[in-house]
C-alpha cells in the first residue's frame, strides 16, 4: 500500500540511524492507520513527512510505501488540458475570441476553433520543420512522452526535458536552447519562424 506520510503528533520527528551499508541516515516517525510506524533508515529521503504541493489540477505529496518515503504525484484527469503559456513582465493573461483559423490543440488531428491566449505558448519544434503546427509541440496533454503516452499536463511534459534532474529547465539542460515562445501574430494559428522567439 501507499499512505500519505503524516508525521507523528503533527510534527516531523526523526532519529539518526545507520543503514545496512553502515552509512549515517535518518528514520521518521509516521502515523499510519492510527498507529505509529518508523521508516527504514535512509541516507537521502525523497521527501519529508507532511510535504506536499497543490497546483490546482496536479501536485505531489510525501507518501510512505511501508518502508521508505516516496514522492507521489497526482493529477485530476481532464483538468490540465491547456498547454503552458508564459507570462512576461507581469503582462496580464487574457484570451482573444475564436477566429476563423483552426488549430490542433490536442495533437490528435482535431483542428478546432478556440479562444487564444494573449501571452505566448511555450513550445518546442519537435519535428524540426520550423513551424509549431499542433499540440504535440506545445507543453500540454497533446505532448507525447518518451514512453509513448500522452502527458497528463504541461508540467509533466516539461519535466522530461530536465536532464540534470534539478527541478528546473535551465541552460544546463540540452533542450533549453530549443525552447521557443510562440505568439500567433497574424492569427493564422500556425507558429511560423518569424513568430517564434
* Residues 7 and 40 reside in one and the same domain: yes
Q: Do residues 57 and 148 both lie within one domain?
A: no
Residues 71 and 99 in one domain: no
State residue 77's pLDDT score.
67
**What's the mean pLDDT in 77-97?**
76
Model pTM greater than 0.85?
no
**60, 52 Cβ separation under 8 angstroms:** yes
- Give the model confidence (pLDDT) of 90-145 as tens digits: 778 787 877 767 777 777 777 777 777 888 889 999 999 888 888 899 998 888 99
Residue among 159, 143, 173, 149 nearest 73 (CA) = 159
Between CA 182 and CA 58 the distance in angstroms is 24
Total domains in the chain come to 2
| Residue 188 scores a pLDDT above 80 | no
Contact indicator for 157, 149 with CB cutoff of 8 Å: no
**pLDDT of the residue at 57:** 63
Q: Would the pLDDT of 80 be above 70?
A: no
Q: Are residues 106 and 41 in the same domain?
A: no
Asked if residue 158 and residue 136 are part of one domain, the reply reads: yes
Count CB-CB contacts under 10 A for residue 132.
26
pLDDT digits (tens, 9 = 90+) for 3-16: 999 999 888 999 99
Question: Which one of 37, 57, 75 terminates a domain?
Answer: 75
CB 156 within 8 A of CB 102: no
Residue 123's pLDDT is 92
User: d(Cα 94, Cα 139) in Å, to the nearest integer?
Assistant: 19
Q: How many CA atoms lie within 13 A of 2 on its CB side?
A: 9
Looking at the structure, do residues 102 and 52 belong to the same domain, yes or no?
no
Assess contact for 57 and 75: CB atoms under 8 A.
Answer: yes
Q: How many residues does the chain have?
A: 197
Same domain, 113 and 138: yes
Calculate the CA dihedral of residues 123, 125, 126, 128 and round it to 10 degrees: 180
Residues whose CB is less than 8 angstroms from the CB of residue 186 and which lie 6 or more positions away in sequence, other chains included: 192, 195
Give me the pLDDT at residue 55, please.
63
Same domain, 69 and 112: no
| 106 shares its domain with 195 | yes
Q: Which of 25, 42, 75 is the last residue of a domain?
A: 75
**Mean pLDDT score, 80-84:** 72
Give residue 66's domain range: 3-75
Distance of CA 19 to the CA centre of its chain: 32
Same domain, 100 and 194: yes
Please give the mean pLDDT across all residues of the chain: 85
Q: Is the same domain home to 85 and 71? A: no
Q: Where a domain ends, among 39, 58, 75?
A: 75
Amino acid at each position: 500500500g501507499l499512505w500519505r506520510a503524516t508525521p507523528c503528533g503533527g510534527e516531523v520527528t526523526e532519529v539518526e540511524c545507520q543503514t545496512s551499508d553502515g552509512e549515517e541516515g535518518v528514520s521518521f516517525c509516521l502515523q499510519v492507520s492510527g498507529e505509529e510506524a518508523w521508516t527504514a533508515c535512509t541516507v537521502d529521503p525523497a521527501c519529508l513527512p507532511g510535504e506536499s504541493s497543490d497546483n490546482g489540477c496536479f501536485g505531489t505529496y510525501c507518501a510512505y510505501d511501508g518502508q521508505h518515503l516516496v514522492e507521489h504525484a497526482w493529477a485530476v484527469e481532464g483538468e490540465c488540458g491547456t498547454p503552458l503559456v508564459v507570462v512576461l513582465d507581469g503582462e496580464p493573461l487574457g484570451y482573444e475570441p475564436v477566429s476563423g483559423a483552426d488549430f490542433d490543440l490536442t495533437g490528435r488531428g482535431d483542428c478546432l476553433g478556440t479562444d487564444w491566449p494573449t501571452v505566448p505558448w511555450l513550445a518546442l519544434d519537435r519535428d524540426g520543420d520550423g513551424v509549431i503546427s499542433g499540440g504535440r509541440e506545445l507543453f500540454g496533454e497533446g505532448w507525447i512522452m518518451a514512453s509513448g503516452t500522452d502527458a497528463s499536463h504541461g508540467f509533466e511534459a516539461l519535466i522530461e526535458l530536465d536532464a540534470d534532474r534539478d527541478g528546473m529547465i535551465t541552460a544546463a539542460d540540452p533542450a533549453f536552447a530549443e525552447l521557443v515562445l510562440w505568439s500567433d501574430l497574424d492569427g493564422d494559428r500556425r507558429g511560423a519562424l518569424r513568430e517564434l522567439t
